[in-house]
Amino acid sequence: MTYLDEILKSRRDTRHFTDVQVPDAVLEKALQAGHWAPSVGLTDATKYYLIRSAKIKKTIKNLFLDYDEKAVALTDNEQQKLAYKALKLEAIEEAPLGLVICYDRSVLNNFTIGTVGSNEAVKFSSVCAAQNIWLSLTEQGYSMGWVSILNYYQFKQLLGLPENMEPLGYFCVGKPATDYNNQPMLQQLNWKQKQKIPLMEEITVLQESRVEKVFFSAKEEMDAAAFANALQHKIDQKTKPTNSLGILEVLAKQIGMVFQTLEPKITKPNLVVFAADHGIANHGVSAYPQDVTRQMVSNFLTGGAAINVFCKQNKIELAIVDAGVNYDFPMNTDLISAKIGKGTHSFLQGPAMSKTEIELCFIKGSEIVTNIAKTGSNCIGFGEMGIGNTATASVLMSIILELPVEDCVGKGTGVNEEQLIQKIKILKKCLNNYQGSEDLDSKLAYFGGFEIMQMVGGMLQAKEANMLILVDGFICSVAFLIAFKKNPSIIKNAIFCHSSAEQGHQKILDYLGVRSLLQLDLRLGEGTGCAIALPIIESAVAFLNEMASFESSGVSGR
């Protein structure tokens, strides 16, 4: 066994340290080893921050403790919970030195060799650097422990890291107090046994990759004038002055026409939130870093978001779709996996997605709604989550409605005025850079987002299944606008739940000639407007089915 083999075998994620300080020479040698690590496109995207302050360490420790409690709650059973609590998973305050290893995603502002397949290649480079630092410290008689049980958004805020700097985690550095019997600590404590040999399998058969184009038919509906008159007569004969229930009467007639019955019922209402990341988010168009998409999806899955609350309140079945989040979620989560890629590419530099990917989006969205319709649901709401998707939606709106992009762009997650000006400037440049075909699908592929296009496919399929389609705010309305361009008759099934605070939303509603139900200045997304509006929609059905008529009640008509 060579000396390198011995180091590789002995390397440990250290949680126990002596109080011996880390000499500058040891640290400099280790960081130089990190600098020598492979770096995608030679980007030099890795940066290091040193932490020696006891106050800062204590604050980071508190961040760990907060998320450690969440980890305890997620254990599989009581025995595992007790075993987890017995583990020592950090040495933030004990280790003499703290090291924060970051990757700079602003390098993606320019073309970078090796990142076309995945933006995460930049992150992988920094992980290679962390590995080299670990090996160098071990060779010098020191060690390092990686702490990742943190709220990374708060972590960045506390350290004052620039928006473009993304931390891998907090690393405890010092002289190890034990060698853990020359085995991984988790193995020593019987948490899990590491396999003796690596997993390996040779692939000898090439599988064929096929994407079949999905078609949605624009069905011609029979003349329903006689039925519409019958439905209107029923509404007018209720014990009320004509039109006195306002929009509820309009809704009742629409729902009756969709379901072609005088006694419509909403059954098993569903809401689907499509989540994905956007390459354009790497250019400062959002007030939040891209990783918030992943964080919010996790929040949806644990029931902590606004949409969870409203769906529970109004008895709506909620489904979360990973349409293309830049993260690998565990397989045992209650998540519909429809990942096309780990976020789109930045359309500042080239196409966000390929024609094949857009067809896959339509297929995935269609399949998801088909499965929901099979449960007996006849009402579906659409929501979304994706840092940077207001920028994407604004560009798509600008293209489809032929409006200046500055008339379409809003503050999204809450950018300030200066950031808004920069956002408009970037999106104008993106539009000016486009040199592709003038057909709609070419532009959708160039500027689109995975979650937006999956919603398009889902909405078109909902029309095929003759479901009520609840449309949320700005981004969902842009998706609907695309679906409308492909099948104008979809408008008959759509209910627009609220008018968003995003400036472009009302322009879309005006173009479609529709009126929204609610004016609440919402701009959260997630499908929250749909969930809040459903009780109003159900009220329209209730009065149509249950309210007495003049004849049945003996009340005199006009």
Q: Are residues 289 and 166 in the same domain?
A: no
Q: Scan for tokens 């379901």, then name that residue.
A: 259
Total domains in the chain come to 2
- From 165, 189, 213, the end of a domain falls on 189
DSSP 293-304: HHHHHHHHHTT-
Cα–Cα distances in angstroms (integers) from residue 102 to residues 23, 26, 507, in the given order: 22, 20, 41
- pLDDT, average across residues 65-91: 87
Q: Are residues 179 and 31 in the same domain?
A: yes
- From 137, 167, 189, the end of a domain falls on 189
pLDDT > 70 fraction of the chain, expressed in percent and rounded = 94
Label residue 236 exposed, middle or buried (CB < 10 Å: 0-12, 13-18, 19+): middle
On the question of pLDDT at 392 being above 90, the answer is: yes
pLDDT at 342: 84
Q: Are residues 176 and 316 in the same domain?
A: no
pLDDT at 222: 46
- For residue range 465-485, list pLDDT tens digits in order: 999 999 999 999 999 999 999
Rounded CA gap, 251 and 517, in Å?
10
* CATH of residue 311: 3.40.50.10210
Cα–chain-centroid distance for residue 552?
52
Q: Are residues 169 and 310 in the same domain?
A: no
Minimum mean pLDDT range among 393-402, 406-415, 464-473: 406-415
In this structure, what token pair is assigned to residue 522?
Answer: 């919402």
pLDDT at 532: 97
418 is catalytic: no
Q: Which of 107, 236, 337, 320 is nearest to 558 (CA)?
A: 236
In what side-by-side order are the strands of the sheet with 143-147?
A: 46-51, 97-104, 165-174, 143-147
Single-letter amino acid, residue 523: R
pLDDT at 453: 97
- For residue range 133-152, list pLDDT tens digits in order: 999 999 999 999 999 998 77
* E strand or H helix that includes residue 368: helix 355-373
Q: Are residues 11 and 98 in the same domain?
A: yes
- Residue 381 included in any domain: yes
On the question of pLDDT at 298 being above 50, the answer is: yes
Residue 440 burial (CB count, 10 A): 14
The pTM for the full model equals 0.69
- Residue 549 included in any domain: no
- Residue 242 included in any domain: no
- Residue 245 included in any domain: no
* CATH of residue 138: 3.40.109.10
Q: Are residues 305 and 405 in the same domain?
A: yes
Q: Are residues 327 and 466 in the same domain?
A: yes
- Residue 111 included in any domain: yes
Q: Are residues 58 and 180 in the same domain?
A: yes
- Residue 200 included in any domain: no
Rounded CA gap, 436 and 434, in Å?
6
Q: Are residues 46 and 135 in the same domain?
A: yes
Q: Which of 161, 137, 156 is nearest to 31 (CA)?
A: 137
- pLDDT, average across residues 495-506: 91
- For residue range 230-266, list pLDDT tens digits in order: 999 899 988 889 889 999 999 999 999 999 999 999 9
Q: Are residues 179 and 270 in the same domain?
A: no
Q: Which of 158, 247, 134, 253 is nearest to 514 (CA)?
A: 247
- From 137, 172, 189, the end of a domain falls on 189
- For residue range 311-353, list pLDDT tens digits in order: 999 999 999 999 999 888 877 789 998 998 888 988 987 899 8
Residue 546 burial (CB count, 10 A): 9
pLDDT > 90 fraction of the chain, expressed in percent and rounded = 59
- Residue 80 included in any domain: yes
Q: Are residues 287 and 163 in the same domain?
A: no
Q: Are residues 155 and 275 in the same domain?
A: no
- pLDDT, average across residues 89-103: 95
- Residue 439 included in any domain: yes
Mean pLDDT across the chain:
89
The one catalytic residue in 526, 538, 546, 551 is 526
Tell me the pLDDT band of 209, cut-offs 50, 70 and 90: low
* E strand or H helix that includes residue 312: helix 306-313
Q: Give the domain range for residue 110.
A: 4-189
Give Cβ neighbours of residue 34 (< 8 Å, ≥ 6 apart): 46, 48, 101, 129, 130, 132, 133, 136
